[in-house]
Structure 1
């Protein structure tokens, strides 16, 4: 059942109705804006970006990767403010997690630790490491806000069960990464990335549920991307600064675990946030 919230401006009423297609709409718009900003930043600051060695110096990392994300995240933050969702998105989750969901947190944390040991730290300057960590924070904030924040909020407002919310929000996360094909990546690589993103997205949903806050999912995500980049020497590829192949192979096995747990979770995730309460952020949760 979809709830129609009648109070507030027409803008707020439109988004407070929720629903899967609004979640898809905002995700597509965000992805398009991000791509546009990336091209704009590239045109303006192209001289500071080393396309052949993107992670060779801090300016290349910041202008080549981080700045478009920062700008897109800022616009997304304004959107969340405009509809009055900040308290609900960053507040306590309206439906409690279950103990088994801690498995998702463990499956994310363990490979992060492995990659820390696998990284060839001598290949990077302190400035490059710090800028890459900053990039991770930007990615974690932006991608979790659009999918597990805005996306989940819209799906809950649409009256869907938490099983469907997890499934659809994870698919949205995969959709977000399908735009990699526009940067010239081979289609097969993009497909693999989308499947991985679906599994990882489910881990972030479960982590958000069991910790009770989107903030912890943001931090887990923020630690995943930079440790992967530093350990492998690049984005979605092994670069010249790649670390220990043995440890990286072990860490890569967890990607399969994400997908497996995501599929299993479809059968175990239960509950529903009552739509009338999902539409307002200050009220206590009521389940059915």
Structure 2
């Protein structure tokens, strides 16, 4: 009986939606996700190298396992709330033709990084495990930021401009937790600036494609290709020396310009009654 009461309270809390509940849920998720990372460090610290991509075991223990725990938590939350259809089904807000610019930039930037990566720096196991972790990054971060958070904002009747800005801001703030892993504040600040603009691009991708799976997959290609092309998470915000990787770095400016344009072009509003999912 106690379990049913707790589940009922949680469903009520989440289904009421709104920005502060989205913030509270995100904060709770980050605490649990960060806790999983700290647990991995405590249990397997002697097997985790200082360089995240030094060996397959380090990628698995320091990156893949905490992300697997976070992904399982989010998948369980979606199932518990019965939100699989509204999150993964066809989205209720149609996109505009210009929004296809966002996924095009994401795809081109990822391809340039993939082609410009010096794979001789890594073992085959590191590359494979990094891309496996990338799938979990795409799933966890998109289900949270472009799935749960956006759904909660729309349920309270927020206009799509506010939905875009608030979900992207929260997505950027999520990356402040990189300070806990010892990243320099300047790197974290640069990452947060990038992730805000990238979050807008992922929102536009969601609108253009009408399905959450596409932001998940494009995000899953972006992070691991960036990590491997630049040499690691600490260097990911600063670009690389390969010409193709440097060209891919121009995507940061394009995301920023697209975000500014979106401020003037997005005026849609979602009817909260239309958020129950579609077959």
TM-score range, shorter chain: over 0.9
What is aligned with 1:87? 85
- Within 5 Å, which residues of 2 pair with 1:107-146? 107-146=105-144
Task: Please report the RMSD computed on the Cα atoms of aligned residues, expressed in angstroms.
Answer: 1.7
Alignment of 1:37 with 2:33, yes or no, is no
Q: Gaps spanning 5+ residues in structure 1: where? A: 1-7, 284-288
Alignment pair present for 1:220 and 2:227: no
The residue that corresponds to 1:3 in the other structure is none
Tell me the distance in 1 between the aligned counterparts of 2:212 and 2:104: 17
Q: Distance in 2 between matches of 1:103 and 1:83?
A: 33
Query: In the aligned structure 2, how far is the partner of 1:11 from the partner of 1:131?
Result: 35
Which of 94, 97, 112 is equivalent to 2:95? 97
- Aligned equivalent of 2:201, options 203, 216, 222: 203
* Partners of 1:120 and 1:244 within 8 A in 2: no
Count the aligned residue pairs. Answer: 271
Distance 1:170 1:243 in 2: 25
> C-alpha distance in 1, partners of 2:76/2:158?
26
SS in 2 for 1:96: coil
Q: Is the 8 A contact 2:90 2:210 kept in 1?
A: yes
CA positional deviation for 1:219: 0.2
CA distance in 2 between counterparts of 1:112 and 1:276 reads: 37
Q: CA deviation at 1:109?
A: 1.0
Per-residue CA deviation, residues 129-176 of structure 1 (Å, 9 max, x unaligned), is 111110110100000011001000000001101111111110011011
TM superposition score normalised by structure 2: 0.92
Q: Indicate the residue corresponding to 1:281 in structure 2.
A: 277
What per-residue deviation string (whole Å, max 9, x for no partner) do you get for residues 61-102 of structure 1? 010111111101111211111111111101111111111001
Instruction: Give the alignment of 1:119-268 within 5 angstroms.
Output: 119-237=117-235, 244-268=241-265
Contact 1:114–1:248 under 8 Å retained in 2? yes
State the match for 1:22 in structure 2.
21
Give the superposition deviation at 1:255: 0.8
2:229 and 2:70 map into 1 onto residues whose CA distance is 26
For residues 182 and 172 of structure 2, what CA distance do their matches in structure 1 show?
Answer: 17
Measure how far apart 1:277 and its partner are. Answer: 2.5
Name 1:4's counterpart in structure 2. Answer: none
Question: 2:64·2:136 contact (CA, 8 Å) conserved in 1?
Answer: yes
Partner of 2:269: 272
Residue 118 of structure 1 contacts residue 243 of structure 1 at CA under 8 Å; is this kept in 2?
A: no
Shift of 1:111: 1.1
Contact 1:20–1:154, Cα closer than 8 Å, also in 2: yes
Q: Which runs of 5 or more residues in structure 2 are unaligned?
A: 1-6
Partner of residue 3, structure 2: none
Q: What per-residue deviation string (whole Å, max 9, x for no partner) do you get for residues 98-126 of structure 1?
A: 11001001111111111122111222222
